[in-house]
Chains A and B, each alone.
Chain A
Amino acid sequence: MTLETKAYGPVEIDEKQVLEFPQGLLGFEEHRHFALIDAHKKPFFWLQSTDNSQMAFILIKPSIFRNDYDPGVAQEDFQDIGAEGPDDCLVFAIVTIPESGPMTANLQGPLFISKKTRKGKQCISPRDEYKTRHDILEEMAAGREHDADPLP
């Protein structure tokens, strides 16, 4: 099927790329169906609404800049999307690329998508260390410095 996208205009997608978010995203509860599309630049993805071409979010896998990312979302959230737990899911953070200033990722409201049911949900992390605006490049650089530290 052909989908009109915000980033790339008409794009040919497989029906398997279409995900259902039964509760929408926070603040955008009316949009329930999105396609997950590889961005032309790694490591990004687009979450493109299938009913509104202007409704699209840039996603990144948090593990790219936080390999210990563990938002500790409630079991109830997994039940909502027909998943047993985080191992059955893909996890993404929504990215903001402002006109000026650093590109940030929201680690407080991660998206979990069940690999089995292809249902998704924006969950809320109860952990204070995760905020809505993590500077991706800065944390990537900090992570590398940390990895380079000699062991005590």
Chain B
Amino acid sequence: MLILSRKKDQKIMIGDGIEIWVVDIRGDTVKLGIKAPREVKVFRQEVAEEIEAANQAALRSSLDLPFPDVGDPKDRS
């Protein structure tokens, strides 16, 4: 694994199209800006696990659907 040190406002380039920018460093949190082509998927590692957990919770949903006031019918397209 390649390990690089970067300071605030410095960047890392990956290939021709991906740019990672250290936007801010506060305490133990690094804020990164990521520029990547549309075909490249970028997401936090925990997101897939969160979606899996949400799917499991959704499967245990009550079968009794509430009847919300859906507001203006034009929004129902």
Contact = CB atoms under 8 A, between A and B. Distances in A.
Given A44-B65, A75-B38, A124-B41, A67 B51 contact: no
Nearest to B62: A97
Nearest to B69: A140
Interface in A64-80: 64, 67, 74-77, 79
Contacts of A77: 41
Interface residues of B, number: 33
Interface residues of A, number: 46
A114 interface: no
Contacts of B76: 42-43, 61, 64
A39 B41 contact: no
A28 B65 contact: no
Given A124-B41, A124-B47, A97 B65 contact: yes
B41 A42 contact: no
A98 B62 CA distance: 6
B63 interface: yes
A45 to B, nearest CB: 10
B12 interface: no
Interface of A: 6-7, 25-28, 39-44, 55-58, 61, 63-64, 67, 74-77, 79, 94-99, 103, 106, 108-109, 122, 124-126, 132-133, 136-137, 140, 143-144
7 nearest interchain CB pairs? Answer: A27-B52, A109-B51, A132-B54, A97-B61, A75-B39, A74-B41, A96-B58
